[in-house]
Structure 1
Amino acid sequence: MPMIADSRALAELCDRLSTAPYITVDTEFMREKTYYPQLCLVQVAGPDEAKAIDPLAPGMDLAPLFELLANPKVLKVFHAARQDIEIFLHLSGAVPAPLFDTQVAAMVCGFGDAVSYETLASQLAKARIDKSMRFTDWALRPLTEKQIQYALADVTHLRVAYEKLVRKLEKNGRAAWLDAEMAELTTPATYQVEPENAWRRLKPRSSSPKFLAVLKELAAWREREARERDIPRQRMLRDETLMEIAAHHPADTTELGRTRGIGKGLVEGRMGVAILEAVKRGLALPEDQIPKPPERVEVPRGLGPVVELLKVLLKMKCDEHGVASKLVANVADIEAIAADDDADVPALHGWRRELFGEDALKLKHGRLGLGFCTDGRRLRLVPIEPVEPPAEPAAAIEAD
């Protein structure tokens, strides 16, 4: 049977897979009504077998699965792993490791930005993924045979994709590039939201210290409350409402009741009291605890053309080396490089600097140029001697 619904069968599966060089893993979950994802199905495949695990089965003990995911001798292969890892971290307290994310590996190998599993399965495993059940309610039981087979396809074709990506990485010598990305994915802090930092997710529209102080306290209160009650943040209080309250910082229930998106029952109940208390805490924050808005890099006047040239260079380099541009640098990184040679951006560190950063600085300072090849269709880099900028014209002397 492809479906495991009892602890003994799960333990036996995990024991067999503990000697495998790698396993492919995927999950199906629901999150519409909860703060934490509700794990509904786990799909696991070794080189020779694939099973779906029912975590909702009565008496199911997932400890053998968590032990397998923590086994340092077995590589865990995911596609777009972040949400799956968040689930396992919450349930077991540990991030699966060692880890291989085929989406990141595909970006390193030139398959484009954030390539989908369907695309990867099609190009590498020559398989067509049926996504007709992507909106299935995976919490309902029993699951049909068709649903189970649909879910298993997310790990069976992943085996072929993984093996071909590994060969590509060995051939192009980029395994170390992937290691740097996996280090971030296997760090628990990547998935943990501290209530005090929850305001950063809201992209505040104001830089007013009073607004940010109140927003910080409101967002922290909502995060703790949503986590404790296990309900989605937005279902408890929408982002727009939170920022509206921060903007007007009401002092009493009458003022709070004027806020769009808040009902009378909420205002006069326990949550209304908690919101007003959070507002008071925000207004009373010492200056050194008031959050600072993210610093925006201001591109100095006249550097617009430099930014555009660096964008062209990025595309040229990524096309030439077969790597997704999103993995190397974004627009903010490029603007930072245009403004500052020592900008603290990934593109000026490690393999990204070797691929793009060094030449970006040379292009910026006139030691490299961009030109067309003789076919008139491809760009090339042209070493050039730097030219001193023309002297500023002398100011005209007014006649007496």
Structure 2
Amino acid sequence: MRADPSPITATEELAQFCASLATTEYVTVDTEFMRETTYWPKVCLIQLAGPDEARVIDPLAEGLDMEPLFALLRNKAVLKVFHAARQDLEIFTKLMGEVPSPLFDSQVAAMVCGFGDQVSYEQLVAKLAGAQVDKSSRFTDWARRPLTEKQVVYALGDVTHLRKIYEKLNAKLQKSGRVEWLADEMALLADPATYEVAPDNAWKRLKPRTTKGEYLAVLQAVAAWREIEARNRDIPRQRIIRDETVMEIAAHPPRSADDLERMRGLSKGFAEGKMGTGLLAAIAAKLASPKDTWPTLEREPELPRGIGPLVELLKVLLKLKCDAHDVAQKLLANSSDLDKIAADDNADVPALQGWRREMFGNDALRLKHGELALAAEGTRIKLVELKK
């Protein structure tokens, strides 16, 4: 397996490399990016490998046309393998205008194969590739040129070890018959909507303090205004207004520059300038809009009294099933799902659908209705069938 340490900086060279990968079964992909001072991630390096060769691509190189890479990422015949793919896919979706496909996320695949919740790349490298990752270059300045050989070698490791990880995880999935499980999870990553944040939905990233109409309306207006300003200026949204200040404005809507200036975290210059004027206008427009256009947030239904012990039993059953089937708990159900199952046999949760229902959901309902019991046998917990 060849790994050329010299970065690709010319379009013709990139086209030749991508053409050589266009007939392979898969490519492994990773990026190095910076986001500390921008709204959009600044891509500084792209790592790409096939089964037999690996290179890094310098997207900052003058005159480099990235279209040969984008064509490869669009090629339906070549599987694109990432680890913890979401941020990388967000980057490529913005650059290409579409999501690369088809996809394989080794972190999700590892969860399906029983390596636990959100297993790290370093852990998979150690367990499946029998190697160690040198972390010393992780927080270097990837935008600075020229890149050092140490940086390039570190970056290449993110795709060269990933080949072995993919091959072993894929073999496990094939052997266990769980390929379709992974396909269900990849569908979410392949959906362009996953990477779209409409300004009017930006408030959903926050944790509203109440479900009152005016509070949510102002929260939506301020969060949307902040999102648009951050995008237009290409700076982090927290540089416009911090989250806690957004929440404070929603709780106590300002009507004037004086009101804004009294808000913690906002300066007099902000309050009296264009930013303050724009923010006040956004709040006023929202409060003047029809109330039936204001966002709503349903309260979490109160759980029936005395349901706590049943939820605890479901937690034990969940762990038992995950250990028995060698799958990460997070992939089957979370605490909120268990609460809902305990309260409602027809709860709209993934654990009562598809393969998750077969593995866990059906027995969760049987446990709930006294058809199954949990019993200790020494240090083990086992399921006991109960006769009705």
Q: 1:108-135, CA deviations, whole angstroms, 9 ceiling, x for partnerless residues?
A: 0000000000000000000100111111
Match in the other structure for 2:380: 378
Report how far residue 279 of structure 1 moved. 1.4
Match in the other structure for 2:210: 206
Match in the other structure for 1:397: none
Q: Check whether the contact 2:211–2:298 (CA below 8 A) recurs between aligned residues.
A: no
Report how far residue 230 of structure 1 moved. 1.1
Match in the other structure for 1:122: 126
Could you tell me how far apart the structure 1 residues matched to 2:321 and 2:371 are?
A: 17
Report how far residue 190 of structure 1 moved. 0.7
Larger radius of gyration: 1
Cα RMSD of the aligned pairs, angstroms, is 0.9
Match in the other structure for 2:12: 8
Q: Which amino acid aligns with 1:342?
A: N
Report how far residue 287 of structure 1 moved. 2.3
Could you tell me how far apart the structure 2 residues matched to 1:25 and 1:115 are?
A: 18
Q: Which amino acid aligns with 1:127?
A: A
SS of equivalent residue, structure 2 residue 235: coil
Q: Which amino acid aligns with 1:160?
A: K
Q: Which amino acid aligns with 1:247?
A: A
Q: Which amino acid aligns with 2:37?
A: K
SS of equivalent residue, structure 1 residue 143: coil
Give 1:206-285 correspondences, 5 Å limit: 206-285=210-289
Q: Which amino acid aligns with 1:71?
A: N
Q: Check whether the contact 2:137–2:150 (CA below 8 A) recurs between aligned residues.
A: no
Could you tell me how far apart the structure 2 residues matched to 1:301 and 1:372 are?
A: 27
Q: Which amino acid aligns with 2:263?
A: T
1:314 to 307, 311, 318: 318
Q: Do residues 29 (structure 1) and 14 (structure 2) align? A: no
2:340 to 333, 336, 343: 336
User: % of aligned pairs identical?
Assistant: 63
> What 5-or-longer segments of structure 1 have no aligned partner?
387-400
SS of equivalent residue, structure 2 residue 170: helix
SS of equivalent residue, structure 1 residue 52: strand
Could you tell me how far apart the structure 2 residues matched to 1:85 and 1:259 are?
A: 37
Q: Check whether the contact 1:76–1:96 (CA below 8 A) recurs between aligned residues.
A: yes
Q: 1:252-308, CA deviations, whole angstroms, 9 ceiling, x for partnerless residues?
A: 111111000001111110000011112112322322222122431321101111110
Q: Check whether the contact 1:121–1:128 (CA below 8 A) recurs between aligned residues.
A: yes
Q: Which amino acid aligns with 1:381?
A: L
Q: Check whether the contact 1:214–1:281 (CA below 8 A) recurs between aligned residues.
A: no
Give 1:1-400 correspondences, 5 Å limit: 1-2=4-5, 3-373=7-377, 376-386=378-388
Could you tell me how far apart the structure 2 residues matched to 1:37 and 1:204 are?
A: 27
TM-score between the two structures when normalised by the length of structure 1: 0.95
SS of equivalent residue, structure 1 residue 372: strand
Q: How many residue pairs are counted as aligned between the two chains? A: 384
Could you tell me how far apart the structure 2 residues matched to 1:30 and 1:106 are?
A: 27
Report how far residue 27 of structure 1 moved. 0.2
Q: 1:205-263, CA deviations, whole angstroms, 9 ceiling, x for partnerless residues?
A: 12221111111111111111111211111111111111111111011111111000001
Q: Which amino acid aligns with 2:348?
A: D
Q: Check whether the contact 2:9–2:61 (CA below 8 A) recurs between aligned residues.
A: yes
SS of equivalent residue, structure 2 residue 217: helix
